[in-house]
Structure 1
Amino acid sequence: MSEIEPPPEPAAEPPQSLQERIDAAHIRLPSRGNRKLQQLVDAVNADEQVKAWWHVAGVNAQRLGMSDHSWVHIQIVTNIALRLSRLLFKRGIVPSVVTDHGLTERDAEVVIAAASLFHCVGMSIQREDHERFSLFLTADKLPTLLRGIYDDPVRSVVVAEASHGIISHRTKGQPFTIEGAIVRVADALDMAKGRSRVPFEQLLPNIHSLSSYAIESVKILPGREKAVRVEIEMNNSAGIYQVDEGLGTKLRGTPLAEHLEVVARIDAEHEQRLVPVFRL
């Protein structure tokens, strides 16, 4: 996935103190000259409260035996969301904030990044219904971070649209904006095994853990017939569950469904290929 910052390499020895863990959290993304976007990221990186929420969200995910929900997941999802948005906008898909509020594509990037940065801070409180808790925490924090970047009424519009993106990523979320759909799908696309995954040996052997571990890589590319092509490499057909029930569920019925092509392939020498290519 070009233009997406890679997840950080694991340190030889993980930081021990709380302050060291907070200091280690630092979001990187390609702002591509979007000054307002970079200002938001700089403000978030300087905010220890937000980074503390990411830390506790990650700890709670570990307690529950889930895949990573720390700042690493946040960085991956935000980068994926920006990658998706730029490919879509380049192909003429107009952001909802442009259509409905007369804002710009760069403002849409701020909305998408803000929603991605805050979409699972509610995990610091509770897993169940964490999307609503994320809204609760975001309600005061995001306007503060955007002060100096936007004045009202634009600031309140950006906060409202970002909040829609946050709530839209829940299991039964129904985004009715392009930006909300991008955040929902970006969250689902953080599926490749690697730095952000809980080691397979720590997970209970069920279809969720088997399917997650079967995903080797995810590539987000310009499409041919559609605006975006997502290519997923699997080492085992169990990964189809992750693609269909995970990504498929979050893509179907959204404003992005007609603009994304998803192709999953099995690249395993010793597996009987019951379904060599799976498409959404």
Structure 2
Amino acid sequence: MSHLDPEIEQRIDGPVSSEAVRETRMTPAEAIEGMRIRFPERGNRKLRRVIDRANADAQLKAWWHVSNVNAVARMQINDHSWVHIQVVVNIALKLLRQLTKHGVEPSAVRDYGLTNEDSEVIVVLSALMHCVGMSVHRRGHEDFSLFLSEPKMRDLLDGIYDEPERTVVISEVLQAITSHRSDGEPLALEAGILRVADALDMAKGRSRIPFEAGSVSMHSLSAAAIEEVTIEDGDERPVKIGILMNNSSGLFQVDGLLKAKLRGSGLEPYVEVIAHIDTENEKRLVSVYRLDL
């Protein structure tokens, strides 16, 4: 997934499925030791301070670890480790920067007179916090994420934002967190970006854990079919999302799951999605598929 941004590698230390499982067998101290979120900061000093604090926060990392234990070891569903967090951070930033590059105004700028850099802080914080509630339970994890993350964000933003801007930033992050659920209704561009970015972490292993554990279903088969996701300038719209699949079962991920997250996100006017099937071993029923938004 390096195509998302040449400055950062999204997946690290090998296939995420094996990495996510290995992490669940460590002690908590061992598991959080190597966690470090990286992304291209591009001169955004507020964002740099936020991520430095997050990378030094053992409680936040512990939430990521427990979330992954619940997801992978106990429920045998897809990865919710810190690697997932890193991927979503980078996808979300890439989407936001692609949109602002083409003149799309973030909601924080339009509605509050903040800056594009402040919108980046909102997007990154929402990605960092969006599934910490999985440390409590899968069911209702978005709501658990809200009450865990609110006081944590006040600590992370202390001295970076004064009131009332700090409460504005935190409120926008909380909206993004609650709106990333399947029936969420994003009210801001930044919230829609998190919703789509979370759905786009589908390549190179994240959702392959159930399949590798022997669960064969349309969900597990289609997840295993996704090879690569790219984000670049669109031909007709500001953003083109390219999805490379090794077989046509991956269309379920695209048409069944990604479409549901894109619809209602607020990103529909700005995004085009094109899926390609690249294989010599399958009779090609579809070679190129364009998602109708």
TM-score tier (shorter):
over 0.9
Quote the Cα distance in structure 1 between the aligned partners of 2:157 and 2:50: 7
| Mapping of residues 9-24 of structure 1, within 5 Å | 9-10=13-14, 16-24=26-34
In the alignment, which residue of structure 2 is the partner of 1:29?
A: 39
In the alignment, which residue of structure 1 is the partner of 2:11?
A: 7
| Mapping of residues 10-89 of structure 1, within 5 Å | 10=14, 16-62=26-72, 63-89=74-100
Residues 207, 223 of structure 2: 8 Å contact kept:
no
Quote the Cα distance in structure 2 between the aligned partners of 1:111 and 1:76: 16
User: Which residue of 173, 176, 182 maps to 1:162?
Assistant: 173
Quote the Cα distance in structure 2 between the aligned partners of 1:240 and 1:45: 36
User: Which residue of 197, 213, 228 maps to 1:202?
Assistant: 213
Quote the Cα distance in structure 2 between the aligned partners of 1:218 and 1:258: 20
What secondary structure is seen at the aligned counterpart in 2 of 1:258? helix
Quote the Cα distance in structure 2 between the aligned partners of 1:195 and 1:226: 28
> For residues 232 and 192 of structure 1, do their structure 2 counterparts lie closer, same or farther at Cα, with a shift above 3 Å needed?
same
Over the matched positions of the two proteins, sequence identity in percent amounts to: 53
Using the TM superposition, give the Cα deviation of residue 197 of structure 1 relative to its aligned residue in structure 2, in angstroms: 4.5
- Gapped runs of 5+ residues in structure 1? none
1:54-102 per-position Cα deviation (integer Å, ceiling 9, x unaligned): 0000011111111100100000000000001000000010000000000
Shifted more, 165-174 versus 1-10: the winner is: 1-10
Residues 9, 195 of structure 1: 8 Å contact kept:
no
- The answer to whether residue 266 in structure 2 is matched with residue 255 in structure 1 is yes
Quote the Cα distance in structure 2 between the aligned partners of 1:188 and 1:252: 12
1:125-148 per-position Cα deviation (integer Å, ceiling 9, x unaligned): 010111111001012111111001
In the alignment, which residue of structure 2 is the partner of 1:101?
A: 112
Quote the Cα distance in structure 1 between the aligned partners of 2:285 and 2:13: 35
Using the TM superposition, give the Cα deviation of residue 254 of structure 1 relative to its aligned residue in structure 2, in angstroms: 2.1
Using the TM superposition, give the Cα deviation of residue 7 of structure 1 relative to its aligned residue in structure 2, in angstroms: 2.1
- The answer to whether residue 141 in structure 2 is matched with residue 137 in structure 1 is no
Residues 4, 83 of structure 1: 8 Å contact kept:
no
- Aligned pairs, number: 279
- Gapped runs of 5+ residues in structure 2? none
| Mapping of residues 166-177 of structure 1, within 5 Å | 166-177=177-188
- The answer to whether residue 243 in structure 2 is matched with residue 239 in structure 1 is no
What secondary structure is seen at the aligned counterpart in 2 of 1:145? helix
Using the TM superposition, give the Cα deviation of residue 247 of structure 1 relative to its aligned residue in structure 2, in angstroms: 1.0
Using the TM superposition, give the Cα deviation of residue 274 of structure 1 relative to its aligned residue in structure 2, in angstroms: 1.6
Residues 216, 234 of structure 1: 8 Å contact kept:
yes
TM-score between the two structures when normalised by the length of structure 1: 0.96
What secondary structure is seen at the aligned counterpart in 2 of 1:141? helix
Using the TM superposition, give the Cα deviation of residue 224 of structure 1 relative to its aligned residue in structure 2, in angstroms: 2.3
Using the TM superposition, give the Cα deviation of residue 196 of structure 1 relative to its aligned residue in structure 2, in angstroms: 7.3
Give the aligned residue type for 2:139.
Answer: E
Please provide the CA RMSD for this pair: 1.5
> For residues 235 and 211 of structure 1, do their structure 2 counterparts lie closer, same or farther at Cα, with a shift above 3 Å needed?
same
Residues 189, 218 of structure 1: 8 Å contact kept:
yes
Shifted more, 99-108 versus 240-249: the winner is: 240-249
What secondary structure is seen at the aligned counterpart in 2 of 1:219? strand
In the alignment, which residue of structure 2 is the partner of 1:219?
A: 230
Quote the Cα distance in structure 2 between the aligned partners of 1:5 and 1:160: 30
Quote the Cα distance in structure 2 between the aligned partners of 1:37 and 1:279: 35
Residues 56, 124 of structure 1: 8 Å contact kept:
yes
Using the TM superposition, give the Cα deviation of residue 4 of structure 1 relative to its aligned residue in structure 2, in angstroms: 3.7
Using the TM superposition, give the Cα deviation of residue 237 of structure 1 relative to its aligned residue in structure 2, in angstroms: 0.8
What secondary structure is seen at the aligned counterpart in 2 of 1:262? strand
TM-score between the two structures when normalised by the length of structure 2: 0.92
